[in-house]
Amino acid sequence: MTKLAGKVALVTGAGRGIGRAVAMKLASEGARVFVNDLDAAPMQDVMQAIGDAGGEAAGLAGSVTGEGFADELVGGALDALGGLDIIVNNAGYIWNSTIQNQTDEQIAAMLDVHAGAPIRILRAAQPHFRERFRAESAAGRRVVRKVVNISSMAAVYGMPAAVSYAAGKGAVVGMTNGLAREWGRLQVTVNSVAFGYIETRLTQRFGDTAHPTIEVEGRAHKVGFPEEQQEDLTRLIPLQRLGTAEDAANGVYLFCIPESDYITGQTLVVGGGLTTG
């Protein structure tokens, strides 16, 4: 029997990379998944993949930082799938530079996508969690719901040229700890996962070719590592490899299953044993 049968999970940033792997993992364990991505095409692709594998998915494309979008997202999950038991705040991206080159727009963007948006999503979910807790308590039932916020080793150990990104991911840890204390009475666990170097388009390697970029809302952002730098990073990792998106998803999954029902307010580092950047 699958561990998440009967559960509904909301996963942001689920069209590619880690978010896609998380959505697929939760669906493979029986969850019905409401997926979100900034871009509609990859979101539709993951919904199709979940359906082809025998699961159930629905979704809503759009930016998690958009005005009013958090309410639309939570409402969409409730309307489409009839409940909400797991929230994975995964959406985010990097916009790195040394601190003297960071613009106000850059600082605000990193803080909002990594901390502000998850807070607004969780705020939108609170009435549903409270209502379900009250109904279940009245019926003599205890049902544990789950929140998993995605942080980064940059927040735990630091990373050069990424102060705003690290600040946003650090805020995730503080938010997680605070909400774990606030929502314990509602039987909601709140934890975070801090990823190390995971193989995604954000960490892709490149050689003599031009620095790769991704586009986020019309702006190109540099991503990836030069081959030599990535080889140096790999040597620093005790497990001697970068993590896969599936490795990352497995870390999130641990906080979603019943075995973690008495674990809350924790940050799990998924980095292959790497403790310095």
What beta strand segments (E) does 98-255 contain?
145-152, 188-195, 205-206, 213-216, 219-222, 225-226
169 is catalytic: yes
Q: What is the rounded (10 degree) CA torsion for 184, 255, 173, 186?
A: -10
165 is catalytic: yes
Q: Element (H or E) spanning 65, and its range?
A: none
* Residue among 93, 165, 197, 253 flagged as catalytic: 165
Q: Please tell me whether residue 7 adopts helix, strand or coil conformation.
A: coil
Beta strands 8-11 and 225-226: pairing type? unpaired
* Residue among 7, 25, 146, 169 flagged as catalytic: 169
* Residue among 63, 151, 152, 192 flagged as catalytic: 152
Beta strands 145-152 and 86-89: pairing type? parallel
Q: Which residues contact 109 (CB under 8 A, 6 or more apart)?
A: 65, 95, 164
151 is catalytic: no
Just list the catalytic residues.
152, 165, 169
